[in-house]
Amino acid sequence: MFIIGELINGMYKEAGRAIREKDKSVIQRLAKRQKEAGADALDLNCGPVSKDPVLDMRWLIETVQEVVDMPLSLDSTKANVIEEGLKLVKNKAIINSTSADSEKLEILVPLAIKYNASLIGLTLDKNGVPQDKDRRLELAARIVADCQEKGFPVENLYIDPVVLPVNVAQNQAGLVLEVLKEFKIISTPAPKTIVGLSNISQGTTKRRLINRTFLSMAIAADLDAAILDPLDEELMNTLITSELILNKQIYCDSYLDAYRKR
Ligand code: THG
């Protein structure tokens, strides 16, 4: 499982304040702690209320790169924020994200090629997030076809079915688990799959329990990557144990410690 740490996001109170006040130490601590906890990459998101997202994204990238050297996921709905960010990323970049809209694909697929970045494609368009599997598959196929046409390697494409909170869209979680497997038969080679895990529990009172239960099920549905909170220790233990049970890690009595020491 490729783990993208979600904590540097203006949606969080602590990170939001640090971004507004340009408080480097808070962001740098979040970067180092997520890496130590097992993150393979860090998601950077200025948050919904950023007044100058280009400036904030540049500041986040530079601040994080002073203390860690790892792939960075540039999380913004604005293509120009991603484009300006890509110029600064030293390690690998992940574009988070494009939708299935042609205006987005026309800009972001060529940028992914130019910067040798990975690309996350959300199965949504101007009409919003589809509520059924067929429409999600159709939008995923549109993104895959566009990448193939433009010469972007589909192995570097992550399809995201867009996870909705279980308290407002309870029937969607099961559909997302099913469609994760179906994305794999769109093309050969297949695209990879990813979810924003914490979406599933937003607004609920049992957030961590819901997150780790859903993650375990998604791993059983062959999920390749997740944006999640790597500081949630029970979540990380569930992730490692799920991979063990699916024979993706070798069993020993101390498998949790062995995984962490890799
Ligand atoms: N797919 C992709 N990218 C994504 C998402 C996705 N990026 C953003 C998001 N979804 C994943 N990251 C988060 C980060 C925080 C929360 C949820 C998902 C979250 N935050 C608390 C809340 O809103 O309740 C903040 C509260 C606090 O201050 O503690 O839940 O799906 N490609």
Tokens standing for residue 173: 């979680």
Nearest CA to ligand 1 atom 14: 6
The protein residue whose alpha carbon is closest to atom 3 in ligand 1 is 196
Q: Are strands 41-44 and 2-5 parallel, antiparallel or unpaired?
A: parallel
Gap from CA of 150 to ligand 1 centroid (Å): 31
Give the other-Cβ count within 10 Å of 77's Cβ: 15
At 165 the pLDDT is 98
The residue contributing the CA closest to ligand 1 atom 27 is: 12
- Asked if 229 contacts 6 with a C-beta cutoff of 8 angstroms, the reply is yes
Q: Output the CA 11–ligand 1 centroid distance in Å.
A: 7
Q: Which atom of ligand 1 is nearest to the CA of 13?
A: 28
- The torsion angles phi and psi of 196, rounded to 5 degrees, stand at -90, 100
Alpha-carbon distances, residue 67 vs 25, 34, 62, 70 (angstroms): 10, 12, 9, 10
Q: How far is the CA of 49 from the centre of ligand 1 (A)?
A: 14
The residue whose CA has the least distance to atom 29 of ligand 1 is 12
Distance in angstroms (rounded) separating the CA atoms of residues 55 and 92? 20
Ligand 1-lining residues (CB < 6 angstroms) = 6, 9, 11-13, 45, 75, 96-97, 120, 160, 162-163, 196, 198-199, 202, 227
Torsion of CA 223, 227, 228, 231, to 10 degrees: 120
Per-residue tens of pLDDT for the chain, all 262 residues:
999 999 999 999 999 999 999 999 999 999 999 999 999 999 999 998 899 999 999 999 999 999 999 999 999 999 999 999 999 999 999 999 999 999 999 999 999 999 999 999 999 999 999 999 999 999 999 999 999 999 999 999 999 999 999 999 999 999 999 999 999 999 999 999 999 999 999 999 999 999 999 999 999 999 999 999 999 999 999 999 999 999 998 999 999 998 888 7
First to last CA, the chain: 14
The CATH T-level fold of domain 2-260 is TIM Barrel (3.20.20)
Distances (CA, A) of 54 to 2, 50, 63, 234: 27, 9, 14, 35
Please name the residue whose Cα sits nearest to atom 21 of ligand 1.
12
